[in-house]
Amino acid sequence: MLKWITLAPLIGALINGLFGKRLGEKVVGAIACLSVAVSAVLAFASFNQLTHASAGADGVRRVTDYFFTWISVGAFRADFAYLLDPLSGIYILFITGVGLLIHIYATGYMHGDPGYYRFFTYLNLFMFMMLTLVLADNLLLLFVGWEGVGLCSYLLIGYYIRKKEAGDAAKKAFIVNRIGDFGYMIAMFLVFTTFGTISFVDKPGAGGEIVRSFLVTAAAMPVEGLWVFGTMTAIALLLFVGATGKSAQIPLFVWLPDAMAGPTPVSALIHAATMVTAGVYLTARCSWVVTKSPTAMLVIAVIGAATAIFAATIGLAQNDIKKVLAYSTVSQLGYMFLACGVGAFTAGIFHVMTHAFFKALLFLGSGSVIHGMHEEQDIRKMGGLRKYMPITFATMFVGWLAISGFPLLSGFFSKDEILWRTFSTEALPPGVGNALWGLAALTALLTAIYMTRMMWLTFFGQERFGQARPGHSNDAHAEHTDADHAHAALGKPHESPAVMWIPLAILAVLSLIGGLVGVPAAMGGSNHFEHFLQPVIAEAQPFGHTTPVAHSVTRGEVGTPTIDGREAAASESHVAKSEEHHDTSTELGLTVLSVILGLLGIGIGIAVFSKKPLRKMPKTLEEKYYVDEIYEDAVIQPIEHLSRDGLWKVVDVKIIDGFVNGVARMFGDISGVLRYTQSGFARSYAAVILLGAIIVIGYFSYIALR
């Protein structure tokens, strides 16, 4: 069944890609949505199957679907097989769910676009790749999905093929991602050479014996010391390099804001809800390796926190509604990595899910605004839109509160969980957790402020859109129907059609209640989410414990699959749980504090921007800390210089061309000499033949008469 979850969108993509041009908008949209709907239904069914599955020997429920063995070379084996466990289960639920809503929304948003079928082909292909990514049962298949979503991201960012900036953004995204992919590949090679397998699950080996998953093997390994760069640290850090590329972390985040050149549904689906969280997925999937390296944990946490606050400050000063959301996404992704870095992988995944809800909501809302404003993206030219677009406003209002951490909304629970786990972490050196918590809390405040600014400038205050130049278009949303043009001439914003606001409404509901699956124990909840994920996620070792608990010996003796690192880690986590009870009051205190921070941020935002919405923001922030310029000078220019003056003019022209031309000239010269043997005189040829005959006859008669 699992394979049909992924194959349904692929079939949709094939039909639309091959015949879409002739099918017409309605049919293309129907096929695209239907294929994702099938996938979503199957995903829910599979998830149901998963919850009823009996736990495996190591306490993990799994549903697997073997397709075929893709590569089998010596000990190396990579299957095309799918694995559904709690981690991938959660991912496929929100990927197909949010993906379906965005597909439906896009049928309205892309209405009238000449590349309609192309768009949905790419979008369906993306669904296939993303689902392959999360359902893959080994690192290589995961990498297929990983590259596939990168490809689809490239195609969709550059969807408006006539716009140069879209093409440039697409290339930027692709190239920056390549840097990360390089790390991923090295990590994969390293995993294979270290563990002899790249599979997430146990596989039968060549000789019929069971090859343990590298995660299980890793779980039993000793923890490496801080700043000890052993194999585990190397693998974890290299995987994280891959994750920074895909999930837009410092220093590879630069592509994500530019990626907003693509259509808004793409920004919502790929660059907010799903693809960019693949890095978090990878980190959580390999948590058994990552937790063995305090160094990697520390790096991940620090990078995550730094990205979070860095992007939040930039988001404060952006005027393009999608850019604000893009930096917000980068910032929220930073949160997720912070969570991973402090060992709270479940909290990270939880935030991935809630973020998928509210950020997809916000992006789609912004798309609705852009649509209603006739392709205007500059929030300085909006204002007072709540009158014209009440539904969009209402739904975005929910998203705004959710991301700002308003109590009981989805973002509140997940963000609060991350903040608390950061504060109380034992996986990092003492004090680090508290410092990171400080950064994260500040980020929460900033998040509330910039989101308030964006909301205020868009929906409240004075109407400023009269000044918008007609025909000015940032999102070259191609040609519109005549009716749309008539609207544009009026210049009045309008509410989007039902096909667009219904997904908004559904996402708004999800953003409202989505957090309730993970209410932490301190607030009287039972945190289903965490318990559900627990078996597949490694528990971080408290900092300073360098040896895993005694089970490694036990495992060596018994050698049964029941005893392995996971169980031991789980048992230890119970010990940790009991200790946590002491901290309940602290946790609640921090929760109150973060609520206050969120509300304070909203308050500051309203106070500052209601009076003077077009307040000049610091130039440094508006220019995004000049990161692009720094990269240009520090990386791109030297590389260009090196390529031009070194590789081209010296290596290529002098050495390679010189070699090739030298070989050619050598043959030319030799031939020039040999040419004289080819005189063209028949008689000299005859003489040569005669000479040859003399030699051959002489040789044979010598042999015979000797």
Partner 1 sequence: MVPLSWYLALSAVLFTIGVVGVIIQRNIISLFMCIELMLNAVNLTLVAFSRFLGDVTGQLFVFIVMTVAAAEAAVGLAIIISLFRSRETINVDEADLLRL
Partner 2 sequence: MDVNTLLNTIEISHILFLGFAALCVVAAFNVILQHNPIYSALALIIVLCTLAALFVTLYAPFIAAIQVLVYAGAIMVLFIFVIMLLNVREEESKTDQQKYLKYLAVPFFLAMLGEVFAVIKTVGAPPASANPPGTVESIANGMFTNYVLPFEAASVLILMAIVGSMLLARRESAADTNLIEDALNAANRSTPMPAIETVREIEEEVAA
Site string for partner 1, 633-672 (x = CB under 8 A): ----------------------------------------
> Under DSSP, is residue 105 helix (H, G, I), strand (E, B) or coil?
helix
> Minimum distance from CB of 467 to partner 2 (Å)?
55
Nearer to partner 2, 674 or 687 (CB): 687
Q: How far is the CB of 653 from partner 2 (least distance, A)?
A: 7
Cβ atoms 131, 47 nearer than 8 A: no
Q: Which does 675 bind (CB under 5 to 8 A by kind): partner 1, partner 2, none?
A: partner 1
Which residue blocks in 316-431 are alpha helix, DSSP H?
Answer: 321-341, 345-372, 390-404, 410-423
Q: Residue 684 interacts with partner 2 (CB under 8 A)? A: yes
* Contact of residue 434 among partner 2, partner 1, none (CB under 5-8 Å per partner type): none
What is the rounded CA–CA span in Å between residue 584 and residue 369?
Answer: 42
CA distance linking residue 198 with residue 240, whole number of Å: 17
Query: Could you say which residues in the range 625-664 bind partner 2, by CB under 8 A?
Result: 653, 661
Long-range contacts of 479-483 (CB under 8 A, 24+ apart): 479/112, 479/114, 480/112, 481/111, 481/112
Q: Which stretch binds partner 2 (CB under 8 A): 129-137, 174-182, 383-391, 689-697?
A: 689-697
Least separation in angstroms between CB 702 and partner 2: 9
State the binding partner of 680 from partner 2, partner 1, none, CB within 5 to 8 A by kind: partner 1
682 binding partner (options partner 2, partner 1, none; Cβ < 5 to 8 Å by kind) = partner 1
Shortest reach from residue 693's CB to partner 1, in Å: 8
Verify binding: residue 71, partner 1, rule CB under 8 A.
Answer: no
Considering the rule CB under 8 A, would residue 689 count as an interface residue with partner 2? Answer: no
Q: Report d(CA 638, CA 647) in Å as an integer.
A: 12
The SS3 of residue 81 is strand
Beta strands (DSSP E) in 377-476 are none
| Residue with Cβ nearer partner 1 (68 or 676) | 676
First to last CA, the chain: 82
Asked if 692 touches partner 2 (CB under 8 A), the answer is no
Among 619, 681, 703, 706, binds partner 2 (CB under 8 A): 681
Nearer to partner 1, 162 or 683 (CB): 683
CB of 706 to partner 2, least distance (A): 12
- Tell the burial category of 664 from Cβ atoms under 10 Å away from its Cβ (0-12, 13-18, 19+): exposed
Residue 430 in the binding site for partner 2 (CB under 8 A): no
Distance (Å, whole) CA 184 – CA 140: 10
Backbone φ/ψ region at 621: left (φ over 0), alpha (ψ -120 to 50), beta: alpha
Task: Say if CB 6 and CB 92 are below 8 A apart.
Answer: no
Q: Which is nearer to partner 2, 596 or 697 (CB)?
A: 697
Three-state DSSP at 84 gives strand
Span 674-693, contacts to partner 1 by CB under 8 A: 675, 678-683, 686-687, 690, 693
Radius of gyration (C-alpha) of the chain in whole angstroms: 30
Touching partner 1, residues 219-278 (CB under 8 A): none
Question: Which partner, partner 1, partner 2, none, binds residue 653 by CB below 5 to 8 Å per kind?
Answer: partner 2
Q: Does 575 bind partner 1 (CB under 8 A)?
A: no
CB of 641 to partner 2, least distance (A): 21
Q: Which does 678 bind (CB under 5 to 8 A by kind): partner 2, partner 1, none?
A: partner 1
Q: Which is nearer to partner 1, 571 or 701 (CB)?
A: 701
Quick one: 53 or 647, whose CB is closer to partner 2? 647
Nearer to partner 2, 615 or 649 (CB): 649
| Burial class of residue 604, CB neighbours in 10 A (0-12, 13-18, 19+) | middle
Dihedral pair phi/psi, residue 228, rounded to 5°: -100, 115
Nearest CA-CA partner of 614 in 404, 386, 447, 461: 461
The single residue among 430, 544, 618, 698 that binds partner 2, judged by CB under 8 A, is 698
3-state secondary structure string across 27-73: HHHHHHHHHHHHHHHHHHHHHHHHHHCCCCCCCCCCEEEEEEEEEEE
Q: How far is the CB of 666 from partner 2 (least distance, A)?
A: 15
Nearer to partner 2, 48 or 701 (CB): 701
Smallest distance, Å, CB 681 to partner 1?
A: 6
Closest C-alpha among 416, 377, 363 to residue 590: 416
Cβ 82 to partner 2 shortest distance, Å:
55
Q: Are 184 and 144 in contact (CB under 8 A)?
A: no
Contact 124, 35 (CB under 8 A): yes
Residue 673 lies near partner 2 (rule: CB under 8 A): no
- Whole-angstrom Cα distance, residue 2 to residue 190? 29
> Is residue 554 packed enough to be buried (19+ CB in 10 Å), middle (13-18) or exposed (0-12)?
middle
Which of partner 2, partner 1, none has residue 698 at its interface (CB below 5 to 8 Å by kind)? partner 2
Cα–Cα nearest to 265, from 400, 401, 156: 156
Choosing from 52, 619, 683, 706, the residue that interacts with partner 2 (CB under 8 A) is 683
CA nearest neighbour of 215 among 288, 280, 279, 283: 288
Interactions with partner 2, residue window 232-261 (CB under 8 A)? none
The DSSP symbol for 514 reads G
- Min dist. Cβ of residue 643 to partner 2 (A): 18
Q: Count residues near partner 1 (CB under 8 A).
A: 11
Distance of closest approach, residue 69 Cβ to partner 1, in angstroms: 60
Size of the site for partner 2 (CB under 8 A): 16
687 binds partner 2 (CB under 8 A): yes
- Cβ pair 101, 273 in contact under 8 A: no
Q: Identify any residues that bridge with 78 across adjacent strands, giving them in sequence order.
A: 71
Binding site for partner 2 (CB under 8 A): 653, 661, 679, 681, 683-684, 687, 690-691, 693-694, 697-698, 701, 704-705
Binding site for partner 1 (CB under 8 A): 675, 678-683, 686-687, 690, 693
